[in-house]
């Protein structure tokens, strides 16, 4: 639904180095300078561009541009390429978040590089044009109560797909994880590294595992954090998410019940759940500020499931709304409800593998999922519904895994709702030499950004030495907020 790091902003004590003039020499030399205006590059990072083939079946044909960002010493012994997830999430800026959070000894061993993947941001971007006119707020309720509401949502999804095709038809067939992995190998080559060292979160684990499968001889130290199920289609993965999101919401409701003296939402998980349902019904009938209805509340809850650091804010906003003050709720939902779609996310999702074209299948599967995940099943379906109408043909994804893939470190939270733990266990099976470390709790994105010292030790030790734990391991959860 989003990336592991899109909701995280961290700073650290390390200072940036002066801008390097170039990364080595040769035909793929990288020339570093200030980052493009409008990119998400923070101070202390520098950017370079790299040309890659739009279509790797025709490497001498049309070229597109990747924009890379880097921090650290260009002459460091190793280069760590990082991806924050998505798909379609800009990578520029992630390198500083990671580098500033590394222990000094690890940071000294690496320069850290990220990039806006093909189709994203400062790289050759996919555009769907202005979609704000298609998505109004308050939006039609995510969970339809009649055929008209479902049809209204379907109409928006179809129009989004048509508009994306009209604006980016020439790019859409090539927005695939396999091509993004091939792009990463071009980045490795541009740095003149024999091995790619890599840190990927969320969708970035699929990207990293795809790279390791395609380029096992060039795979170095690789950490995959919050791991995508390599056996599930993108369509199927959303139905794995639904019950995991519902389970995480139940944990949130239980947490709020323990703090009833503060939030007054109910003294038990069931009572908080009932309060939440009542707020949803009221917003559906009477949207706050004429723009925040039940769909906007559903979006807010879904975003808060990624990390419990937002639980107190969400609980307080709903508590204030029930007392007659909707300002906090409106501010939070306005921040999420931009009115625009994420074209790059759709571009990757809709082309990476096949989606049902018959809406009856979507309806049947979503209705079944909603019996166990009433708060999230329909909401999750609407995020991907344009894929039912996508114009670019789907590709056959790379089958993850090979005996040639070297050992990889997998990090995962037990109750992660966006990438359920079952997917990490399947990835560990597909990458048979890998090791899996599972932490308690459900925060999405463990290494460096959850304050879990046990998980950080596992990642830091591996990046320093290349040695994996002797066996799969567990870590305790970070303290609840």
416 is catalytic: yes
**Could you give the count of Cα atoms lying within 13 Å of 133 in the half-sphere of its Cβ?**
5
Helix, strand or coil for residue 239?
Answer: helix
d(CA 195, CA 214): 13
CA distances to 145, 252, 298, 378 from 367, rounded to whole Å, are: 12, 24, 17, 8
CB neighbour list of residue 285: distance below 8 Å, 6 or more residues apart: none
Do residues 129 and 166 lie in contact, with contact meaning Cβ atoms separated by under 8 Å?
Answer: yes
Helix, strand or coil for residue 20?
Answer: coil
Site of tokens 């096992």? 216
**Could you give the count of Cα atoms lying within 13 Å of 33 in the half-sphere of its Cβ?**
4
Give me the catalytic one of 202, 226, 294, 434.
202
Helix (H) or strand (E) holding 311: helix 311-322
Give me the catalytic one of 352, 444, 450, 478.
444
Burial 193-210 (b: 16+ CB within 10 A, else e): bebbbbbbbbbbbbbbbb
444 is catalytic: yes
d(CA 127, CA 172): 10
d(CA 359, CA 235): 13
d(CA 363, CA 348): 23
Sheet strand arrangement including 46-53: 46-53, 63-71, 110-116, 78-83, 196-201, 219-225, 409-413, 435-439, 473-475
d(CA 17, CA 79): 15
Do residues 352 and 234 lie in contact, with contact meaning Cβ atoms separated by under 8 Å?
Answer: yes
Give me the catalytic one of 299, 416, 450, 456.
416
Sign, Cα dihedral of 354, 355, 361, 365: positive
Tell me 34's DSSP state. P
Long-range contacts: 314-318, Cβ < 8 Å, 24+?
314/252, 315/256, 315/259, 315/262, 315/263, 315/265, 316/263, 318/263, 318/265, 318/276, 318/279
CA distances to 5, 113, 191, 247, 293 from 416, rounded to whole Å, are: 14, 26, 34, 10, 27
114 is catalytic: no
Site of tokens 């969708």? 203
Q: What are φ and ψ of residue 236, in 5° steps?
A: -70, -30
> Which residues have a catalytic role annotated?
202, 416, 444
């Amino acid at each position: 639904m989003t990336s592991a790091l899109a909701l995280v902003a961290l700073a650290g004590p390390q200072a940036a180095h002066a801008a390097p003039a170039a990364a080595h020499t040769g035909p793929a030399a990288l020339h570093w300078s200030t980052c493009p205006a409008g990119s998400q590059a923070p101070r202390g990072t520098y950017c370079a561009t790299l040309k890659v083939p739009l279509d790797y079946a025709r490497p001498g044909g049309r070229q597109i541009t990747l924009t890379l960002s880097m921090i650290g010493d260009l002459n460091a012994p190793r280069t760590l390429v990082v991806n924050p997830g998505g798909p379609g999430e800009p990578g520029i800026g992630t390198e500083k978040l990671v580098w500033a959070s590394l222990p000094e000894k690890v940071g000294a061993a690496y320069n850290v590089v990220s990039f806006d993947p093909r189709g994203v941001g400062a790289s050759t971007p996919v555009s769907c044009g202005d979609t704000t006119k298609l998505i109004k707020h308050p939006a039609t309720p995510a969970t339809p109560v009649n055929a008209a509401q479902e049809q209204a949502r379907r109409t928006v999804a179809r129009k989004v797909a048509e508009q994306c095709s009209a604006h980016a038809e020439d790019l859409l067939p090539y927005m695939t994880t396999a091509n993004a992995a091939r792009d990463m190998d071009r980045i490795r080559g541009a740095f003149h590294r024999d091995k790619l060292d890599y840190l990927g979160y969320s969708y970035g684990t699929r990207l990293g595992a795809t790279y390791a499968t395609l380029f096992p001889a060039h795979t170095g130290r690789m950490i995959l954090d919050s791991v995508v199920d390599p056996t599930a289609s993108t369509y199927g993965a959303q139905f794995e998410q639904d019950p995991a999101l519902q389970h995480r919401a139940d944990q949130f409701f239980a947490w709020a019940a323990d703090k009833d003296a503060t939030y007054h939402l109910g003294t038990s998980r069931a009572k908080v759940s009932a309060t939440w349902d009542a707020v949803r019904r009221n917003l559906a009938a009477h949207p706050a500020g004429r723009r925040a209805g039940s769909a906007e509340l559903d979006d807010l809850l879904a975003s808060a499931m990624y990390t419990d650091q937002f639980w107190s804010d969400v609980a307080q906003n709903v508590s204030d709304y029930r007392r007659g003050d909707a300002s906090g709720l409106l501010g939070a939902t306005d921040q999420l409800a931009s009115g625009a779609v994420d074209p790059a996310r759709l571009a990757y999702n809709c082309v990476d593998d096949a989606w049902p074209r018959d809406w009856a299948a979507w309806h049947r599967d979503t209705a079944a999922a909603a019996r166990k995940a009433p708060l999230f099943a329909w909401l999750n379906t609407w995020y991907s519904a344009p894929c039912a109408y996508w114009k670019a043909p789907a590709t056959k994804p790379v089958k993850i895994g090979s005996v040639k893939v070297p050992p990889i470190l997998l990090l995962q939270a037990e109750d992660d709702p966006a990438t359920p733990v079952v997917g990490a266990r399947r990835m560990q099976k597909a990458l048979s030499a890998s090791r899996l470390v599972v932490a308690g709790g459900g925060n999405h994105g463990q290494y460096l950004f959850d304050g879990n010292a046990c998980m950080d030790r596992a990642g830091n030790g591996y990046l320093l030495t290349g040695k994996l734990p002797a066996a799969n391991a567990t870590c305790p959860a970070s303290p609840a907020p």
